């Protein structure tokens, strides 16, 4: 691993662009021999996202993970014939050294935290593919897998480690760097792989990690295979895993062509989504536009539309917009969701998705919607929704109403506005296919202490609800009339902008995830909160901290107080 540096320029003089294509990959290769694909990590040391460090030893930064996220999406949407993905390295002897230490040592605090969050979401998308898409992942560790490298393997279904006397797995962050494994490693050890707590404590404080049979015994890996038999065993295991998949061998995928996006001053335009930045008030409007017509005649026609199929086009835009805002607009602290379109047309598309949900592509769109709304849930911004005349918060497009921190719905119409009064409409989409990280739907979470309100909301499915009906059902927070609307919204936004962003982030994150705890809520709650704090502590990032001293021969200086 490389040594730490002085502060890097991660203030985004050029915005980070999450739109990539395999033709432009610098760090990954995809090869396909159906039903198996190989996703090979081959990091280009000279292709770091920022100046000031090299990506040695297959270490990674945000640029490496942007490509990984893109590859996972493409394997799901473009290759329905792929049933098993082998995740491996082209560097025998070094699987992955984890997150680049020079980058972590010098990056701005907000970049480090957002980087860890994005890597977590990307690893979760691997597990989502395995659990729900029938596209299972196998890690073939052909060398050292340290820190984030081992965490990458932990996201897969099955881990095979080469037994050559050198290959090992480790989580050395605590003893070496004074930080935590940032991509769910601690949680996956005890929750997913069921490693005994005391053994996990030993492993996480063992700098050199663990090899071969002992790693199998402690459930850190699933198999340890001699180098001479590694390739044969990995291929056999991948084929065995493929036999458990329901993905169609003869289906043709859709090409994820580059997402159309236009940046024009303080406005970003996508197909079916407009993002308006108000820098003076530090907020953002995200306006989702409904479809321009009726759904396709059948599922084959929907497949033929590819990325132009309205729900998929909208989800791709929202996913990109959320990532763009996170990394490139950190001071715009409030996201305001609006919709504009024909509610009947949105309902027709929602019904189409539900009717064909067993089709492989419709299933992928549902799962993408679930992941995108989860990304909204864990975004560290205040979120509001405004339901006004002309809105189309219907079915799956009503989910933002229940994801946001507060929602306001106009009672009636604005003076001189001839559009119909605002309304919302629930469907089966709001009662199952789009769970939060706590494995409950947003309405179940909303009405955790009011089961009768949840059942009442279910009974209202399909009915157009005006402001008073939505308010009575607990589906919106407030319903001002046109006389009070402008002042209430103005005061709301001014008040929110006056609060401490740190306090708001903590408050919102604590309030959003009521109910049961899962591996995901632990990762985004406990891990993110603790890592956020640790990344500001001098023990990690101070001049004498471990991240800055690593590789210099200088011992870190720790403040020994436990707090």
**Confidence category of residue 553, pLDDT binned at 50, 70, 90:** confident
The pLDDT value given to residue 391: 97
Q: For residues 60, 63, 66 and 71, what is the CA-based torsion angle, rounded to 10 degrees?
A: -70
Measured CA to CA, the distance from residue 512 to residue 444 in angstroms comes to 12
Measured CA to CA, the distance from residue 34 to residue 11 in angstroms comes to 42
Measured CA to CA, the distance from residue 328 to residue 434 in angstroms comes to 28
Q: Comparing 527 with 37, which gets the higher pLDDT?
A: 37
Angle at 122 between CA 117 and CA 124, to 5 degrees: 95
Cβ atoms of residues 264 and 296 within 8 Å: no
Domain at 262-511, CATH from 3.90.226.10, 3.40.50.1220, 3.30.43.10, 3.30.360.10: 3.90.226.10
pLDDT at 108 over 90: yes
pLDDT at 472 over 50: yes
pLDDT at 384 over 60: yes
**Confidence category of residue 253, pLDDT binned at 50, 70, 90:** very high
What is the tens place of the pLDDT at every residue in 15-41? Answer: 999 999 999 999 999 999 999 999 999
Measured CA to CA, the distance from residue 68 to residue 89 in angstroms comes to 13
The pLDDT value given to residue 14: 81
What is the tens place of the pLDDT at every residue in 114-171? Answer: 999 999 999 999 999 999 999 999 999 999 999 999 999 999 999 999 999 999 999 9
**Which distant-in-sequence residues (6+ apart) come within 8 Å of 304 by Cβ?**
296
Residue-range domain boundaries for the chain: 22-244, 262-511
Closest by alpha carbon to 167, among 142, 148, 149, 150? Answer: 142
Q: Which two tokens stand for residue 541?
A: 């990032």
Neighbour-count burial for 146-175, b at 16+ CB within 10 Å, e otherwise: bbbbbbbbbbbbbbbbbbbeebbbbbbbbe
Query: Which architecture does CATH list for 22-244?
Result: Alpha-Beta Complex (3.90)
**What are the φ/ψ torsions at residue 394 (nearest 5 degrees)?**
-135, 135
pLDDT at 506 over 80: yes
The pLDDT value given to residue 8: 61
Overall residue count recorded for the chain in this entry = 563
**Confidence category of residue 10, pLDDT binned at 50, 70, 90:** low
pLDDT at 284 over 60: yes
| β-strand partners of 88 | 40
Sign of the alpha-carbon torsion through 171, 176, 180, 181: negative
N-terminal to C-terminal alpha carbon distance within the chain:
30
The pLDDT value given to residue 7: 59
The pLDDT value given to residue 133: 97
Q: How many CA atoms lie within 13 A of 214 on its CB side?
A: 12
Total-model pTM: 0.96
Q: What is the DSSP string of 21-84?
A: -GGG-SSEEEEEETTEEEEEE---TT--SSTT---GGGEE-HHHHHHHHHHHHHHHHT-TT--E
| β-strand partners of 512 | none
pLDDT at 494 over 60: yes
Sheet holding 158-163, edge to edge: 28-33, 36-41, 84-89, 136-141, 158-163, 223-226
Percentage of the chain surpassing pLDDT 90? 92
The pLDDT value given to residue 528: 85
**Which distant-in-sequence residues (6+ apart) come within 8 Å of 88 by Cβ?**
38, 39, 40, 41, 95, 139, 140, 141, 142, 234
Cβ atoms of residues 402 and 446 within 8 Å: yes
pLDDT at 460 over 60: yes
What is the tens place of the pLDDT at every residue in 41-73? Answer: 999 999 999 999 999 999 999 999 999 999 999
The pLDDT value given to residue 383: 98
Q: Which two tokens stand for residue 75?
A: 């394997």
Sign of the alpha-carbon torsion through 301, 305, 310, 313: positive
The mean pLDDT value of the chain amounts to: 95
Cα–Cα distances (Å) from 257 to 22, 307, 316, 493, in that order, read 11, 7, 11, 37
Q: Count the Cβ atoms, other than its own, within 10 Å of residue 435.
A: 16
The pLDDT value given to residue 488: 97
| β-strand partners of 137 | 85
Average pLDDT over residues 101-122: 94
**Confidence category of residue 1, pLDDT binned at 50, 70, 90:** very low
The pLDDT value given to residue 3: 39
Measured CA to CA, the distance from residue 372 to residue 125 in angstroms comes to 10
The pLDDT value given to residue 104: 92
Q: Mean pLDDT highest for which of 107-111, 168-172, 420-424?
A: 168-172
**What are the φ/ψ torsions at residue 398 (nearest 5 degrees)?**
-85, -10
The pLDDT value given to residue 2: 38
pLDDT at 345 over 50: yes
The pLDDT value given to residue 9: 58
pLDDT at 323 over 90: yes
Average pLDDT over residues 324-328: 97
Measured CA to CA, the distance from residue 260 to residue 170 in angstroms comes to 41
pLDDT at 6 over 60: no
Q: Comparing 239 with 91, which gets the higher pLDDT?
A: 239
Cβ atoms of residues 63 and 45 within 8 Å: no
Q: For residues 116, 120, 122 and 125, what is the CA-based torsion angle, rounded to 10 degrees?
A: -170
State the residue for tokens 């101070």. Answer: 542
Query: What angle separates helix 62-77 from helix 360-377, to the nearest 10 degrees?
Result: 150
pLDDT at 205 over 80: yes
Strand 59-60 and strand 36-41: the pairing is unpaired
**Confidence category of residue 13, pLDDT binned at 50, 70, 90:** low
């Amino acid at each position: 691993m490389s040594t730490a540096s002085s502060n890097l320029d991660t203030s985004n003089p050029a915005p980070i662009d999450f739109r990539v294509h395999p033709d432009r990959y610098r760090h990954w290769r995809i090869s396909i021999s159906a039903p198996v694909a190989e996703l090979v990590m081959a990091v280009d040391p000279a292709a770091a996202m920022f100046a000031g460090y090299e990506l040695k030893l297959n270490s990674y930064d945000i640029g490496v993970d942007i490509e990984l996220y893109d590859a996972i999406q493409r394997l799901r949407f473009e290759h329905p014939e792929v049933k098993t993905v082998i995740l491996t390295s082209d560097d025998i002897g070094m699987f992955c050294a984890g997150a680049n230490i020079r980058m972590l040592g010098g990056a701005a605090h907000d970049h480090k935290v957002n980087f860890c969050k994005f890597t977590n979401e990307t690893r979760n998308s691997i597990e989502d593919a395995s659990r729900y898409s029938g596209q299972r992942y196998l890690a073939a560790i052909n060398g050292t897998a340290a820190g984030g490298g081992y965490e990458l393997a932990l996201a897969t279904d099955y881990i095979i480690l080469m037994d050559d006397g050198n290959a090992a797995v480790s989580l050395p962050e605590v003893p070496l760097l004074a930080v935590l494994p940032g991509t769910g490693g601690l949680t996956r050890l005890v929750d997913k792989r069921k490693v005994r707590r005391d053994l996990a404590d030993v492993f996480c404080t063992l700098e050199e990690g663990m090899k071969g049979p002992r790693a199998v015994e402690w459930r850190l890996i699933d198999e340890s295979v001699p180098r001479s038999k590694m390739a044969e065993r990995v291929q056999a295991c991948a084929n065995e895993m493929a036999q458990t998949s329901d993905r169609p061998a003869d289906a043709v995928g859709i090409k994820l062509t580059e997402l159309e996006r236009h940046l024009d001053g303080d406005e970003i335009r996508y197909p079916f989504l407009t993002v308006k930045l108000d820098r003076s008030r530090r907020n953002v409007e995200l306006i989702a536009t409904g479809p321009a017509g009726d759904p396709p005649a059948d599922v084959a026609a929907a497949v033929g539309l590819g990325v132009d199929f309205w729900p998929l086009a909208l989800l791709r835009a929202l996913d990109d917009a959320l990532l763009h805002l996170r990394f490139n607009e950190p001071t715009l602290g409030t996201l305001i969701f609006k919709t504009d379109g024909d509610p009947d047309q949105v309902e027709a598309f929602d019904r189409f998705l539900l009717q064909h949900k067993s089709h492989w592509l419709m299933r992928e769109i549902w799962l993408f919607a679930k992941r995108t709304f989860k990304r909204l849930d864990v975004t560290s911004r205040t979120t509001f929704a405004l339901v006004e005349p002309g809105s189309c918060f219907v079915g799956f497009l009503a989910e933002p109403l229940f994801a946001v921190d507060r929602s306001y719905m106009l009672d009636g119409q604005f003076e001189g506005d001839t559009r119909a009064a605002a309304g919302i409409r629930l469907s089966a989409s709001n009662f199952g296919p789009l769970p939060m990280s706590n494995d409950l739907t947003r309405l179940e979470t909303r009405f955790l202490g009011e089961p009768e309100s949840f059942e009442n909301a279910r009974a209202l499915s399909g009915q157009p609800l005006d402001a008073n009906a939505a308010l009575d059902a607990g589906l919106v927070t407030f319903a001002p009339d046109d006389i009070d609307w402008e002042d209430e919204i103005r005061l709301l936004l001014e008040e929110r902008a006056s609060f401490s962003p740190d306090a708001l982030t903590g408050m919102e994150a604590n309030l959003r995830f009521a109910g049961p705890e899962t591996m995901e809520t632990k990762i985004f709650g406990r891990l993110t909160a603790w890592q956020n704090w640790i990344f500001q502590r001098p023990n990690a990032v101070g001049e004498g901290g471990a991240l800055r001293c690593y590789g210099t021969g200088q011992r870190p200086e720790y403040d020994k107080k436990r707090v």
